[in-house]
């Protein structure tokens, strides 16, 4: 009787161990392939990375790249609109990947993994061209007489809160029109990724990026991935590596930063 019970216990333990191992080996990549779609979260308000168009479609550097990655998987990219303050919640609940100018931060790493960084891109100021000489350093900006405008919920606001406590801070909810506020004189400066400051400088005459080649803080851009999913991360990292080595990344980057 004891032998029978022991045998049953060992069989049950073996089945449980097998189930646990199978669960550990299961990857979001399998779900993506099975569903035939890659759910992509993006705020869609950040040139040149991802921008939502009036017709509901998206365009940008990250958009082109993630569509190409989905094509390589043999699936369709399905975009899910989010916003910076709820990016992490939406990603965890609704998406397989998140893109759109996402900075690598230790805070985000608490809830998600990152792909291999595809761009080094630190924080830089942008201001009206006549004021470039006035806002060269953090010390120049961190004054009560300086009005800094920022979009909410992302790494830009975190940088401002941490490094510019003495400046007057305005939070503007629309990242598409935020740069117009500087041109209008409603704010003196914004802090953003250096590549975006260069993009906005080209798009809005009168605005100038301040030392984008020498940013105020080192930064990296990457895609958000499910935490602990080694297979998903290995596939995405491999694809990004090949896209860079094969020239696709440079071609797409040139298209969106020309």
| pLDDT for res 9 | 44
Q: What is the DSSP string of 155-223?
A: HHHHHHHHH-TTSEEEE-S-TTTHHHHHHTTS-SEEEEEHHHHHHHHHHSTTEEESSTTS-SB--EE--
Whether omega before 125 lies within 30 degrees of 0, making that bond cis, reads: no
Q: Where do the structural domains in the chain lie, given as residue ranges?
A: 28-120+220-257, 123-209
Q: Which CATH fold would you assign to the domain 28-120+220-257?
A: D-Maltodextrin-Binding Protein; domain 2 (3.40.190)
| CA–CA gap between residue 187 and residue 80 (Å, rounded) | 31
132: number of Cβ within 10 Å: 17
How much is the average pLDDT of 120-135? 96
* Angle separating helix axes 230-245 and 28-35, nearest 10 degrees: 70
Asked if the model's pLDDT at residue 19 lies above 90, the reply is no
| pLDDT for res 251 | 98
Is 208 or 175 the better-scoring residue by pLDDT?
A: 208
Asked if the model's pLDDT at residue 238 lies above 50, the reply is yes
| pLDDT for res 22 | 41
C-alpha triplet 109, 113, 118: angle, nearest 5°: 105
| pLDDT for res 17 | 41
How much is the average pLDDT of 133-159? 96
pTM: 0.81
Q: Are strands 147-150 and 189-193 parallel, antiparallel or unpaired?
A: parallel
163-183 tens-digit pLDDT: 999 999 999 999 889 999 999
Tell which residue, 111, 124, 97, has the closest CA to residue 207. Answer: 124
Q: Which CATH fold would you assign to the domain 123-209?
A: D-Maltodextrin-Binding Protein; domain 2 (3.40.190)
pLDDT bucket at 184, cuts 50 / 70 / 90? very high
Mean pLDDT of the chain: 91
Tell which residue, 123, 180, 172, has the closest CA to residue 151. Answer: 172
CB 196 within 8 A of CB 101: yes
Asked if the model's pLDDT at residue 93 lies above 80, the reply is yes
């Amino acid at each position: 009787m004891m032998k029978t019970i022991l045998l049953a216990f060992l069989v049950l333990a073996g089945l449980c161990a097998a189930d646990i191992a199978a669960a550990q080996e299961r990857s979001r990549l399998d779900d993506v392939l099975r569903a035939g779609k890659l759910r992509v979260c993006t705020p869609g308000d950040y040139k040149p990375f991802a921008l939502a168009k009036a017709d509901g479609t998206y365009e940008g550097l990250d958009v082109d790249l993630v569509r190409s990655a989905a094509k390589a998987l043999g699936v369709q990219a399905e975009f899910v609109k989010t916003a910076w303050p709820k990016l992490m919640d939406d990603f965890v609940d609704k998406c397989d990947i998140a893109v759109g100018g996402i900075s690598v931060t230790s805070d985000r790493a608490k809830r998600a993994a990152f792909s291999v960084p595809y761009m080094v891109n630190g924080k830089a100021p942008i201001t009206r061209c006549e004021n470039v000489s006035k806002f060269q350093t953090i010390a120049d900006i961190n004054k009560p007489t300086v009005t800094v405008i920022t979009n909410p919920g992302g790494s830009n606001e975190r940088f401002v809160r941490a490094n510019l406590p003495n400046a007057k801070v305005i939070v503007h909810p629309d990242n598409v029109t935020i740069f117009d506020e500087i041109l209008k004189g409603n704010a003196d400066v914004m802090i953003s990724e250096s590549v975006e400051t260069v993009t906005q400088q080209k798009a809005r005459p009168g605005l100038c990026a301040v030392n984008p080649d020498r940013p105020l803080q080192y930064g990296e851009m990457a895609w958000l991935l499910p935490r602990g999913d080694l297979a998903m991360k290995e596939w995405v990292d491999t694809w990004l590596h090949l896209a860079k080595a094969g020239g696709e990344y440079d071609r797409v980057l040139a298209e969106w930063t020309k």
